[in-house]
Amino acid sequence: MASPFSLLNLISVLVLLFLLGYTGESRDPFACDPKNSNTNDLPFCKASLPITERVRDLIGRLTLEEKVGLLVDNAAAVPRLGMKGYEWWSEALHGVSNVGPGTRFGGEFPGATSFPQVITTAASFNASLWEAIGQVVSDEARAMYNGGTGGLTYWSPNVNIFRDPRWGRGQETPGEDPVLAGRYAASYVRGLQGADGNRLKVAACCKHFTAYDLDNWNGVDRFHFNAQVSKQDIEDTFDVPFRMCVKEGKVASVMCSYNQVNGVPTCADPNLLKKTVRAQWGLDGYIVSDCDSVGVFYSSQHYTSTPEEAAADAIKAGLDLDCGPFLGLHTQDAVKKGLLAEAHVNGALANILSVQMRLGMFDGEPSAQPYGNLGPRDVCSPAHQQLALEAATQGIVLLKNDGPSLPLSPKRHQNVAVIGPNSNVTATMIGNYAGIACGYTSPLQGIMRYAQTDYHMGCDKVACIDDKQIGPAIEAARQADATVLIMGLDQSIEAETVDRVGLLLPGHQQDLISKVAAASGGPTILVLMSGGPVDITFAKNDPRVSAILWAGYPGQAGGTAIADILFGSSNPGGKLPMTWYPQEYLRNLAMTNMAMRSSPSYPGRTYRFYKGPVVYPFGHGLTYTHFVHRVASAPKLVSVPVDGHRRTNNTNLGNKAIRVTHARCGKLSITIHVDVKNMGSRDGTHTVLVFSAPPAGGGNWAPQKQLVGFEKVHVPAQAQQQVQIKIHVCKLLSVVDKSGIRRIPMGEHSLHIGDDVKHSISLQAQALGIIKS
């Protein structure tokens, strides 16, 4: 406990820092220290020169041993050239995290703003919010770097597809739709990396490339899994978010995954790394392995006979940096044995060092650079914490509201029974890959701002292994004006390395909910915390459970956001970024089956291909008001210019689908204007979701519909706003055939705008020669 005198001094220092601005003086230069006369005149230290020249000069001065020491996350110092050691591994999935060794909390930086878990933020369908969160996270990351407690390379976001509802890491992703995941990726990355030309604020990383969405299921783990994936599914599902992240987000790094894809480890596959990520998509940055992936494909997958072969295969495939020691231990011997040319090592180093130079790490004093003024006062600031609350509010989804029962009234519902193992949690709300939050407001604390509460856990933990505490919970509900049950999951049920077995609530949770709802003297509201979907068919169909909210893992301000929605201070507007399946969906469905499309004996994956019953569909979300849509303007006919080609016998899709590579795509976009009217008495924020269904007759391989655009708009009560949605024809109205070729179906495309409006657009080929099918 600090003495009053020392506490007063601490406050004075903080106030002085706030008034004067933080200088970042505790961070010494990583390299090119102006006080080091040995390096001042070396070309790699001259910020005025092009980065390619500086990198070439630096590499030319390094010995092979020094080069190899830079290929690992815990990169070695090169004292003779004035370079300090550097830890590449930091994480910022939804706030600066201390999961990686590159960042630590303490001293002037006791915590950082902890935003909702990504699956929750994705439910906002708000790209400007995602970018704003990235900007805040990078402010705090730069401040911690300036203070000597953080790095500048953050291995986030996770943009894998939430393909199977049991996946423990689905919570880290933006959901099941590839376009949603890709737009999230590009937006968050832009926020993290900044908009200062080629200079980077921090370097982001899209992971885990590719077809990675299984951790540990039924005896199969990610270290041994060989994902058998068709060219079709790779092109139109698994690779889409990564392509958008690189091409639209301009991300500085891509991480390859543990698993194999079609028999080849992703970190040793030149077709994935060199050909696709770097050559086709144009990655300007480095490729890093998931931690110990190179060691895994040598020792666990037995892909190579020797460790030197593994090191050589990885670097020649396009890997630049190893999270782990493997390349540091075996690359030099690989070169000596002739398995790898030193030129390959130089190529990897060029990609790594270029990013460090774009970050300003070779530009001398951090305090004299852009962002050098960021410090402790820029971490956990009131504005940052307010954005965390706003993100939680926008991400919470109202699944059910009979009556309507919500919002509750502080006047009519003065005594509220708050029941459930997640009612008073804090750390649960920030999910995984989190850091230390600035502070928390639990759901119970949030509700206490509106009403008197009678709190009972009902179960010791979310596992809810017995029913011993149900009795007191029932009695509390019987006496209350309203009952709020806060149930669901946590990291003991779903997490990295922990895939779920089923979709039902754990243990006695269902019994607790049903019995409390039956006894409740007022409305019973069910609030669920979870990353993945839960089969709550029983509650959906129970008239005594009058309303259901899904809060995901809502971050440090989750309790305030939940309470504000329960009592009407905020109007919910989130929509589900993943399908909620019934438990029956999993019958005989192996997580290891990577096929997206359905077949007579296989249900298919995600809303794009699964046609069976659901608990709640992708995009579902209610509000306290009512919105209607009207197409104000949209084309009905669009000509697609097509280059001439000799006609062939390839009639895979006949002449009804044109290869994207044969179309003059360029700026071939259509714009639709949609009027959104708020018919209710409350102001509200609404997400316009636009799906496209391709022309009939395209074959059972085509998706039944796919998301092509979304826009968030705030509409006051009884008012109307117009939103504009631009749809790129080649990117968003195309489909992928069985050979993995992207094509644009000609004919009538049906646009579904919300649940109430459809608009048909006819695509017609405008032949500039003979059309090749």
- What positions carry a catalytic annotation? 290
DSSP assignment string, 536-565: -HHHHT-TTEEEEEE--S--TTHHHHHHHH
Alpha-carbon torsion 62, 206, 437, 8, what sign? positive
Note whether 229 and 238 are within 8 A (CB).
yes
State how far the Cα of 51 lies from the Cα of 156, in Å rounded to an integer: 25
What is the bridge-based pairing of β-strands 397-401 and 545-550? Answer: antiparallel
DSSP assignment string, 161-225: ---STT-TTGGGSS-S-HHHHHHHHHHHHHHHH-SSTT--SSB--EEEETT---SEETTEETTT-
CA angle 602, 608, 613 (to 5 degrees): 60
**Other CB atoms within 10 Å distance of the CB of residue 216:** 17
Q: Which amino acid is at 647?
A: R
State how far the Cα of 338 lies from the Cα of 63, in Å rounded to an integer: 17
**Other CB atoms within 10 Å distance of the CB of residue 219:** 6
State how far the Cα of 185 lies from the Cα of 173, in Å rounded to an integer: 10
Note whether 163 and 606 are within 8 A (CB).
yes
Note whether 576 and 177 are within 8 A (CB).
no
State how far the Cα of 157 lies from the Cα of 104, in Å rounded to an integer: 19
**Other CB atoms within 10 Å distance of the CB of residue 58:** 24
Structure tokens at 447: 């509700």
User: What SS3 class is residue 710?
Assistant: strand
Which secondary-structure segment (H or E) carries 46?
none
Q: Is the peptide bond before 165 cis (omega within 30 degrees of 0)?
A: no
Q: Which amino acid is at 108?
A: E
State how far the Cα of 242 lies from the Cα of 246, in Å rounded to an integer: 6
**Other CB atoms within 10 Å distance of the CB of residue 436:** 21
What is the bridge-based pairing of β-strands 415-419 and 452-456? Answer: parallel
Structure tokens at 103: 């960042």
**CB contact set of 11 (below 8 Å; sequence gap of 6+):** none
Residue 188 to residues 194, 318, 595, Cα–Cα distance (Å): 10, 25, 29
State how far the Cα of 751 lies from the Cα of 611, in Å rounded to an integer: 19
State how far the Cα of 65 lies from the Cα of 574, in Å rounded to an integer: 53
State how far the Cα of 698 lies from the Cα of 748, in Å rounded to an integer: 11
Cβ burial 39-48 (10 Å sphere, 16+ → b, else e): beebebbbee
**Other CB atoms within 10 Å distance of the CB of residue 411:** 8
End-to-end CA distance of the chain: 76
